[in-house]
Amino acid sequence: MTDRWIAPDRLFDGHSIQSGVAVRLKDNQVVETGPAPADATKLPGLLIPGYVDLQVNGGGGVFLNETPTRDGIATIASAHRRFGTVAVLPTVITDRAEVLENAANAAIAAQGLHGILGLHIEGPHISRERRGTHDATYVRPFDDRTMAVVTHLRDINIPVMITLAPEVTPLKTISKLAEIGAVVSIGHSNASAAQVNEAIEAGASCATHLFNAMSPMTSREPGVVGAVINSTLYSGIICDGHHVADSMVGLAVRARPQPDRMILVSDSMATVGGPDHFELYGHQVVLKNGRLINKEGSLAGAHVTQAEGVQRLIHHAGVCEETALRMAITTPAQCIGAPKFGGLLNRRVDDLLVLDQDHAVEATLSEALTALKAENAAQ
């Protein structure tokens, strides 16, 4: 049957969780939601749109900086899809100018692939003091080559997020980036709160992995952390139990003056769905006890999926179900200008997930329906 109603125990529509609501499927796509009719197929669990991740450095054994190709992006996206993330923003970090240009060309070539949102350019125009695992050799002032890359991507309507430090980037550059439609994200920054606020006025609209690689909040100087929390910026945050304490994640979510401005990101590396190590700037990064450790003994990205992050938000950070789901689905989709990924309508059944009572991914809706069909046939 190509036209039928499916009634899950509960349903998240992109905004709230509801009971007694069903989705109508036609040709394996959601075409309507509404009160569950009597003949709807019952489906155990919580039905949600698949997860959206705006900071994905790698997956499936591929690190984008090392493999900036269409096939590399496809492998990364496929690895994350296995864990419930159906839309990704491939992320290229600080490196040689030609690596950025190759990554941009790969993003262009990958635009026909389902679930590829665009390109996140994280660096190289960042603070040396707050560079994190980014190689200082490649940190440099904003230049014409980067502007040309961003301009070209936007000219052909490819979404771009660019992480930069406002204290080392002219305000006129931030304004120009915002004017051409790039999402300017403040990160890897040692700026003062005043400099952050100036960048916001110039057009910055996001912040990259709150708390990590940014000047901290103190009693007399809010720093980047305090300025971001006090603002209405969108802000990414990693919830893996290593980058940010769970209690601080919960505090930040509760402290924002405007709701639905926090975005769960994985900052994931090649080890997600791949081997336990990868090459970064010619040196091996190894997974140890859930942490990715570089040659300096510091964190080098994360080994976590959006699905795991959502579970941690709810069960460890004290974030309510609906807020956590919006952080991993609706809000990132809005931030990057792809709202269709934030809801259920006009979505394919393999883009929707069924969660169990512990909020773990049980299956895609497609897989769940196949299992129900097999179960019914066996009876």
Catalytic site positions: 267
Rg of the chain, C-alpha, whole Å:
21
Closest by alpha carbon to 133, among 288, 309, 302?
A: 302
Q: Exposure pattern of 20-51 as b/e (b: 16+ CB <10 Å)? A: ebbbbbeeeebeebeebeeebbebebbbbbbb
Alpha-carbon distance 83 to 18, whole Å?
24
Sheet with 262-265, side-by-side order of all strands? 51-56, 85-93, 119-122, 160-164, 183-186, 206-207, 234-238, 262-265
Say how far apart CA 188 and CA 208 lie, in whole Å.
8
Residue type at position 138? Y
Give every CB contact of residue 373 below 8 A, 6+ residues apart in sequence: none
Two tokens, residue 33:
């939601």
* CA distances in angstroms from 330 to 12, 16, 334, listed in the order given: 11, 11, 6
Termini Cα distance of the chain: 19
How many separate helices (H) and strands (E) can be counted in the chain? 11, 21
The sign of the CA dihedral 159, 278, 239, 329 is: positive
Strand order in the sheet with 277-280: 277-280, 283-288, 291-293, 299-302
**C-alpha–C-alpha distance, residues 289 and 268, integer Å:** 15
Handedness of CA 265, 268, 272, 276 (dihedral sign): negative
